Structure 1
Amino acid sequence: MQSSSGGEEIQSIGADFSDLALKPDHIQRPCWVCPDGNIYLEAFHDLYEKAYDFLVAIAEPVARPEFVHQYKLTPYSLYAAVATNIETESIITVLQRLSKNALPKEVKQFVRDCTSKYGKAKLVLKHNKFYVESEFPMVLRELLRDQTIAQARIHEDVEANVDEHGFLTQTKAEEMKENLDMLREPGDGKKQKKPKVVVSFQVDGVKVENVKRQAIELDYPLMEEYDFRNDNINPNVPLFDLKPITRIRRYQERSLAKMFGNGRARSGIIVLPCGAGKTLTGVTAAQTIKKSCVCLATNAVSVLQWKHQFQKWTNIPDDRIAVFTSDQKDKLHPDACVLITTYTMISYNGKRSEQSQKVMDQITGREWGCLLMDEVHVVPAKMFRRVIGSVKAHTRLGLTATLVREDDLISDLNFLIGPKLYEANWMDLTAQGYLANVQCVEVWCPMTGPFMKEYLLASNARLKQLLYVMNPAKLRAVEFLVRFHEARGDKIIVFSDLVYSLKLYAEMLKRPLIYGETPERERQAILGTFRASDALRTICISKVGDTSIDLPEANVIVQVSSHFGSRRQEAQRLGRILRPKSYTQTDGSNKSTFNAFFYTLVSADTQEMFYSAKRQQYLIDQGYTFKIVTNLCEKAAAEAVKHDYAFATPEDDRRILRTVLTSENDLEKVISSPITFPSRVKKSITIFVISV
């Protein structure tokens, strides 16, 4: 690790900390704190829960398997800590209290270096005026030495509550007791603490962006807070309250306590697993602020789901909730409302239709209380970054299950949105019954001789991909798994990124498929039938189903093709079956029984094995284990002959190969070429039709 102030880097190559002296009462303490900034937590310790809440607030989780977790102190994690009012000396004191060994001097120095200026100043919107606020008058004086900030200052005509430097003074907003409990020694809560005073000066709203940029240059990044309760200019959304039936879970409460801990709304990111109720958390945050809200989703299906969730959990009037997509452009209420749209609709910079441009003008010309961003990991992409500048929002909340990207842009979210406010532990929620307990299985499918020969001779990467995805052993394994789980009464999703193979699998299984070109009405009809009827137990979906498709009934995934080594996609797909089932145990014993299954089919001895190992890393870090199965394809081959599978004989395998190799030099033609089935099967295929 390296301090943000350019201090010496702490080397950890081949780190050996066996010489760290343990405290006499080390058994009563749950953590090891190492000089390189790594922290190891015993997940079986009596103090685990309190230690976890603290560590997830100040450090980045690296790996959280069943017994020992690993965390890492980073400049960004410490920035997030001070954003939630955890002070420098409190971090050091609590680490010292939790650590089995004496706190290394390198760690103390690193914490002080990273937090010496972070969190010392905030940008607060109050009574629709912007104030730079701090507990330290010297910090404000230092900021005002900068000419740009000094020119942006507005001197108010107020006589009361002004100190000798002309700064406004007031009592500091109290942090929520829940956020302070982890910092206290037993008995501390009884002590009366003197209220702290904060000082502030007003800045011109037009020059706020310049002030923020200069503050970063001076190493005083301004944390953003919205004093929404004192905003008397922007109207509230009427009747925007939670329904009496709405129940917020404990971990959702904790995440919201980080956002609203001092009575204001902090901008930042909340990380909750798929199926853990991110949508309800976002709805509750918007409802707490009660001002106009823009909710951004990734696609039109997700937009409709968000609208349904707002209507399900709150009493918001129908005329106060609007949808803005390519197919639906509702009228915005002239006062306060909730607008649900997609990133693409906001960030599009081409020529719009007259109706669309009119809505965009209303969006950009209005002040919004909250910008709610679903799947926030997509925001750093160049096109989506425009969203941040297009919507004038007082507070921004990002929601995601997977705060990872395969590029290095994820750290940009700290300044585009705000720091990470809360991250839940997948395994804890599974044990408590809030998530299904998933058995992850990697099935090794041997390549047949002819396919392996062509794979080794192929020089084109796309052709290689076609060959390992269309491996006949995979086809038989998929049909075997689908028949097995349908007989058990399970609901199955077959995933394939490659549309050519998706069509083949759908026709082989005689099940409907959803991909990019599937019309919206047909898509909704298929999903509706899958949710509501036992007549349809299996659907085939391309990568359009990776995010934002809500299928709580699904409990089996069979993944036959994926987007190379994307860790995010692996976690998102697992999330499709993470919702708790009706028979999920909620007494803490849910770890012992599996009630969902995630199969990844991998062609053995191909590039796909490398990609698979990379994809699984994020889930392994969350505590999941993958079981390797090598003999399933043998069972599938035997069943294929016995039960007359679609592809059962060597002749069938050669037919598939000929189809794939028909136009070796024209892969686009291969993708669109017709699927050839054995004649004995072709006659028996019936297309699954759903009226729309």
Structure 2
Amino acid sequence: MTDEGGGSHLQAVSSIVRRDFSRMPLKIDHNSRPLWISPDDGHIILEGFNALAEQAQDFLIAIAEPVSRPSFVHEYKLTPYSLYAAVSVGLEPDDIIEVLNRLSKVPVPKSVLDFIRVYTMSFGKIKLVLKQNRYFVESSHPEILQMLLRDSVIGEARVRSGDAERPSKSVPTLAVSQPSGGPAPPHAPGDEAAATTREDTGAEQDLFSAVIGVYDADELDEDDAVHSFEIREEHIETVKRRCNDLGFPMLEEYDFRNDQLNPDLDIDLKPITHIRPYQEKSLAKMFGNSRARSGIIVLPCGAGKTLVGITAACTIKKSCLVLCTSSVSVMQWRQQFLQWSNVQESQISVFTADEKQKFSGAAGIVVSTYSMVANTGKRSHTSQKMMNFLESREWGFILLDEVHVVPASMFRRVLTKIKAHAKLGLTATLVREDEKIDELNFLVGPKLYEANWMDLAAKGHIATVQCAEVWCPMTAEFYREYLREKSRKKMLLYCMNPTKFQAAQYLIQFHENRGDKIIVFSDNVYALEAYAIKLGKPYIHGGTPQIERMRILQNFQHNPIVNTIFLSKVGDTSIDLPEATCLIQISSHFGSRRQEAQRLGRILRAKRRNDEGFNAFFYSLVSKDTAEMYYSTKRQQFLIDQGYAFRVIMNLVGQKEMPGLVYASKSEQIELLQSVLIASESAAEFGTDVKLKDFGSSSVPNAKRVMGNLNALSGAQHMSYVERNRSMNKTLASDQPRHKAFQKRAAQAKRKA
């Protein structure tokens, strides 16, 4: 494992060494300019110590993706998505090139200029507009709409004038006109053949004159007429993805000030509310042209994402739907709306499994979870009524908390089921391990703003955190069994390492003596209970009742005796504990970068963060020479890119001499090993978040051993024909008399025998 990592590192270093930029001429005043631009791959290096670094950083966030941002040198990369985001907030290609040239130490390479011009030429040309519960693709360039309609995917999704499902009673029909002027429509290969086929089959009138409507130019403040065609609701995601693939990503903007159809919501921020500069900057990206742009704002945990969302809702002043990941988060959002805005309690309602209510009046706010809205199963009567209410109306604004979960196949349904004019996604960690994060560009919108974690920490907006990785040697007995095991129990062995127990005990005692409040995280529930019980601390996991959870959390916040709690992955998000100043991680979910950053965020809200010289502490306990070291390195990558540095602690001074050290004797360690080896296989599951002692109760069926046969081994035991003939099998197995013909044949055979 070490050799492999070292090899990849050397390979990366050698690839950097092979780059030779000495041929690029420096400008005379290059010392006063902060940027280096690579001609090969669009990477931009920013000198963080330059006098113009702060202004350059704001510009680079708008046009490029941050790759790595340590203290003194930042790396960004130009991508098609980042340029799409730049165009969506109103930046023109010439402006981007001019500012880059002004900040660069070298002339902007031609390859970079061509890249910017090519990928901004088509951006911002088409928009997706929701009008009277119908979706339209709009553009002031008729030739682009004609090109899109030639595409088989988009052409199939459009609503034709004769479609039965098209509403016509209460919605005025669009004016239909053949667009005139402008360049000739582009002809793709095979267009002539397709046109001949349509003519030969007697298809309807000309493709474009039938579906492209013309709007009044004054309506959208455009110089030219705006053309459009309607698409079906169920094909929205497909069309957005297809336009993205064709190089024409859709802009989604909401002219909320001129929307007279949807009722206004009487909501505003309370006078005592203070918006921080970076929050104001992120909102300026969303409302830059007096319209609400759909997109994503990325802020670190504890930096006030909730207040940004509430301020956006107060600006739009239309009905708002807020979607969260859990019911705990739902109640927190509701409480935050009441705390920071003047919305009435009757105007903000909750839709969860326990509470289903509608707001009073024509406009209001509904807070719910992704699971409640995306559920496709059978619902209760009250839930179905609430869903009908959500789906039957136009929403001015939809707030997507923890937006990185949206690409999941279940959750992405909410974006097509709920009709909303503007979408805002909020997250601290715009990363996913399944590489679906880019899909948010067409599902929600481009990234509008991303804050720098180190800058916010330096200015006192979030806590300064010292990160450390504690290497815990495996005992000989545990490591022998670790090498022998081939199942998932290997993970349980390196979690239950006695040396890791001792390190956790030492760190808890050390930080409790300092007056810190400590959270200990473990994804594995078996290890969570073992550690908490052995060290005498309260713990919370998925099986803990809600009343017990609230009691433990309140004691942790207000009781000076309770200074340490153990949490499973249920504490990764949604639990707000500003008192916590120290975090210890004893087991985690493989190499998830997102989880590492979310857990660090639990201590970024520390109340003492503004004290001179105050630091919060983040410890990750890792068993040496195991797969956990590989996962730990992968998990830290996101935080390292944000500028955090992980120190490696190989020896905790004074740990061996600590009084009351757990598992200090060999016999205790062997006893612990035996308990791990006889633990059920489910105890080793890292995804499990169920109380283990519940197994064997009436609520969970007991496992039972049965004798196998060749049918079971081959898979024939569960073949479909067995299911279809179940009634016949029952008949044959029963004691019912057989048919007379079969009885006669059986009797004859018996006599012959």
Aligned match of 2:516 in 490, 496, 520? Answer: 490
Secondary structure of the corresponding residue to residue 399 of structure 2: strand
2:700 corresponds in structure 1 to none
The structure-2 alpha-carbon separation of the partners of 1:214 and 1:453, relative to structure 1 and needing over 3 Å to count, comes to closer
What are the residue-to-residue correspondences of 1:604-619 with 2, within 5 Å? 604-619=624-639
Distance 2:426 2:69 in 1: 21
Q: CA offsets, 1:65-86, max 9 Å, x none?
A: 0000000011111111111111
Secondary structure of the corresponding residue to residue 636 of structure 1: coil
Distance 1:537 1:665 in 2: 33
2:563 is aligned with 1:537: yes
The structure-2 alpha-carbon separation of the partners of 1:606 and 1:157, relative to structure 1 and needing over 3 Å to count, comes to closer
Secondary structure of the corresponding residue to residue 495 of structure 1: strand
2:19 corresponds in structure 1 to 15
Aligned match of 2:546 in 516, 520, 523? Answer: 520
| CA deviation after TM superposition for structure 1 residue 141, in Å | 7.0
Letter of the structure 2 residue corresponding to residue 103 of structure 1: V
**Is the contact between residue 131 and residue 200 of structure 1 (CA under 8 Å) also seen in structure 2?**
no
Letter of the structure 2 residue corresponding to residue 466 of structure 1: L
What are the residue-to-residue correspondences of 1:212-231 with 2, within 5 Å? 215-216=243-244, 219-231=247-259
| CA deviation after TM superposition for structure 1 residue 466, in Å | 0.6
| CA deviation after TM superposition for structure 1 residue 534, in Å | 1.6
**Is the contact between residue 369 and residue 395 of structure 1 (CA under 8 Å) also seen in structure 2?**
yes
| CA deviation after TM superposition for structure 1 residue 531, in Å | 1.8
Q: In terms of mean alpha carbon deviation, does 359-368 or 258-267 score higher?
A: 359-368
Distance 2:685 2:84 in 1: 52
2:94 is aligned with 1:89: yes
Q: In terms of mean alpha carbon deviation, does 450-459 or 63-72 score higher?
A: 450-459
2:601 corresponds in structure 1 to 575
Distance 2:685 2:289 in 1: 60
1:437 corresponds in structure 2 to 464
1:185 corresponds in structure 2 to none
Aligned match of 1:428 in 455, 461, 475? Answer: 455
2:395 is aligned with 1:368: yes
Secondary structure of the corresponding residue to residue 96 of structure 2: helix
| CA deviation after TM superposition for structure 1 residue 664, in Å | 7.2
Aligned match of 1:326 in 350, 353, 363? Answer: 353
Unaligned runs of 5+ residues in structure 2 are: 1-14, 162-171, 183-213, 694-753
Secondary structure of the corresponding residue to residue 269 of structure 2: coil
Secondary structure of the corresponding residue to residue 291 of structure 1: coil
Distance 2:17 2:609 in 1: 47
Q: CA offsets, 1:557-599, max 9 Å, x none?
A: 00000001100000000000011533515xxxx7xx3420000
**Is the contact between residue 125 and residue 227 of structure 1 (CA under 8 Å) also seen in structure 2?**
no
Q: In terms of mean alpha carbon deviation, does 331-340 or 200-209 score higher?
A: 200-209
Q: In terms of mean alpha carbon deviation, does 530-539 or 73-82 score higher?
A: 530-539
| CA deviation after TM superposition for structure 1 residue 361, in Å | 1.3
TM-score (norm 2): 0.78
Aligned match of 1:447 in 461, 474, 480? Answer: 474
| CA deviation after TM superposition for structure 1 residue 245, in Å | 0.8
**Is the contact between residue 491 and residue 684 of structure 2 (CA under 8 Å) also seen in structure 1?**
no
Aligned match of 1:25 in 29, 35, 39? Answer: 29
Distance 1:552 1:357 in 2: 37
Distance 1:214 1:400 in 2: 26
Distance 1:59 1:668 in 2: 42
Letter of the structure 1 residue corresponding to residue 262 of structure 2: N
Q: CA offsets, 1:242-265, max 9 Å, x none?
A: 011111100000111111111111
| CA deviation after TM superposition for structure 1 residue 330, in Å | 2.3
| CA deviation after TM superposition for structure 1 residue 97, in Å | 1.1
Distance 1:252 1:70 in 2: 23
1:406 corresponds in structure 2 to 433
Q: In terms of mean alpha carbon deviation, does 258-267 or 15-24 score higher?
A: 15-24
Secondary structure of the corresponding residue to residue 423 of structure 2: strand
Letter of the structure 2 residue corresponding to residue 119 of structure 1: G
2:657 is aligned with 1:652: no
The structure-2 alpha-carbon separation of the partners of 1:16 and 1:324, relative to structure 1 and needing over 3 Å to count, comes to same
The structure-2 alpha-carbon separation of the partners of 1:532 and 1:30, relative to structure 1 and needing over 3 Å to count, comes to same
Secondary structure of the corresponding residue to residue 480 of structure 1: helix
What are the residue-to-residue correspondences of 1:10-89 with 2, within 5 Å? 14-35=18-39, 36-89=41-94
Secondary structure of the corresponding residue to residue 315 of structure 1: coil
The structure-2 alpha-carbon separation of the partners of 1:252 and 1:466, relative to structure 1 and needing over 3 Å to count, comes to same
What are the residue-to-residue correspondences of 1:1-12 with 2, within 5 Å? none
The structure-2 alpha-carbon separation of the partners of 1:145 and 1:652, relative to structure 1 and needing over 3 Å to count, comes to closer
The structure-2 alpha-carbon separation of the partners of 1:542 and 1:139, relative to structure 1 and needing over 3 Å to count, comes to same
Distance 2:363 2:665 in 1: 65
Distance 1:198 1:636 in 2: 75
Letter of the structure 1 residue corresponding to residue 62 of structure 2: A
Secondary structure of the corresponding residue to residue 223 of structure 1: coil
Unaligned runs of 5+ residues in structure 1 are: 1-10, 174-195, 675-692
| CA deviation after TM superposition for structure 1 residue 136, in Å | 5.6
**Is the contact between residue 60 and residue 77 of structure 1 (CA under 8 Å) also seen in structure 2?**
yes
| CA deviation after TM superposition for structure 1 residue 377, in Å | 0.5
The structure-2 alpha-carbon separation of the partners of 1:409 and 1:254, relative to structure 1 and needing over 3 Å to count, comes to same
Letter of the structure 1 residue corresponding to residue 99 of structure 2: V
Q: CA offsets, 1:513-532, max 9 Å, x none?
A: 11001112221222222222
Distance 1:26 1:291 in 2: 50
| CA deviation after TM superposition for structure 1 residue 336, in Å | 1.2
2:657 is aligned with 1:638: yes
The structure-2 alpha-carbon separation of the partners of 1:547 and 1:214, relative to structure 1 and needing over 3 Å to count, comes to closer
**Is the contact between residue 20 and residue 101 of structure 1 (CA under 8 Å) also seen in structure 2?**
yes
1:168 corresponds in structure 2 to 216
Q: In terms of mean alpha carbon deviation, does 86-95 or 523-532 score higher?
A: 523-532
Letter of the structure 2 residue corresponding to residue 236 of structure 1: D
Letter of the structure 2 residue corresponding to residue 221 of structure 1: P
The structure-2 alpha-carbon separation of the partners of 1:383 and 1:431, relative to structure 1 and needing over 3 Å to count, comes to same
1:121 corresponds in structure 2 to 126
Secondary structure of the corresponding residue to residue 306 of structure 1: helix
| CA deviation after TM superposition for structure 1 residue 637, in Å | 2.4
Secondary structure of the corresponding residue to residue 422 of structure 1: strand
Letter of the structure 2 residue corresponding to residue 18 of structure 1: S
1:662 corresponds in structure 2 to 678
TM-score (norm 1): 0.85
Aligned match of 1:623 in 643, 648, 654? Answer: 643
Distance 1:134 1:665 in 2: 58
| CA deviation after TM superposition for structure 1 residue 292, in Å | 1.1
Letter of the structure 1 residue corresponding to residue 596 of structure 2: E
Secondary structure of the corresponding residue to residue 397 of structure 1: strand
Distance 1:221 1:617 in 2: 30
Letter of the structure 1 residue corresponding to residue 618 of structure 2: F
**Is the contact between residue 133 and residue 419 of structure 2 (CA under 8 Å) also seen in structure 1?**
no
Secondary structure of the corresponding residue to residue 269 of structure 1: strand
